[in-house]
């Protein structure tokens, strides 16, 4: 568990089922987990179930932006599902702002229908990364 969010791991894949708001403490713990996976295996992918996520607290959004601009501990790919319209809009705005400020590519994130599609997208992303796609 990270805060109220359930975490699971399969090798270089970390999955999270979010419940309630996402706080800065949650994001800090996530970054620590991702860094440990990367140190162990060289890369880390994530599947996010946002079905029960209620909010991104402002400090969490700020920290996510700082983390993205920092360039360290960058996930090789993230597939997100269960996002309602309002949350998807918020996530898209945060990611677009971060992308503009950090000049990062947007091909490392996908909004998908469900966990099965998320796993398929991650499998495809692994192929892209192995073929030399920019991280």
Q: What is the mean pLDDT of residues 116-125?
A: 97
Q: What is the mean pLDDT of residues 81-106?
A: 68
Distance CA 79, CA 99 (A): 17
Higher-confidence residue of 67 and 135: namely 67
- Buried-exposed string 4-15: b where 16+ CB fall within 10 A, e elsewhere: bbeeeeeebbbb
Structure confidence at residue 101 as a pLDDT band (50, 70, 90): low
Q: What is the pLDDT of residue 56?
A: 82
At the top level of CATH, which class does the domain 6-130 belong to? alpha beta
Among 44, 10, 58, 4, smallest CA distance to 26 is for 4
Q: What is the pLDDT of residue 61?
A: 78
pTM reported for the whole predicted model = 0.83
Helices vs strands, H then E, count in the chain: 4, 5
Query: Average model confidence (pLDDT) for the chain?
Result: 85
The Cβ of residue 17 has, within 10 Å, a number of other Cβ atoms equal to 18
Indicate the domain borders of the chain.
6-130
Structure confidence at residue 134 as a pLDDT band (50, 70, 90): low
């Amino acid at each position: 568990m990270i805060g109220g969010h359930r975490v699971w791991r399969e090798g270089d894949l970390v999955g999270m089922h979010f419940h309630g708001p996402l706080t800065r403490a949650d994001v800090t713990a996530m970054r620590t987990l991702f860094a440990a996976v990367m140190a162990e295996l060289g890369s880390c992918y994530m599947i996010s179930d946002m079905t029960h996520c209620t909010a991104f607290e402002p400090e969490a959004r700020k920290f996510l932006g700082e983390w993205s601009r920092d360039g360290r501990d960058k996930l090789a790919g993230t597939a997100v599902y269960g996002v309602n319209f309002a949350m998807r809009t918020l996530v898209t705005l945060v990611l677009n702002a971060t992308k503009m400020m950090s000049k990062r590519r947007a091909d490392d994130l996908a909004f998908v229908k469900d966990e099965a599609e998320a796993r398929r997208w991650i499998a495809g992303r692994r192929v892209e990364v192995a073929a030399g796609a920019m991280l």
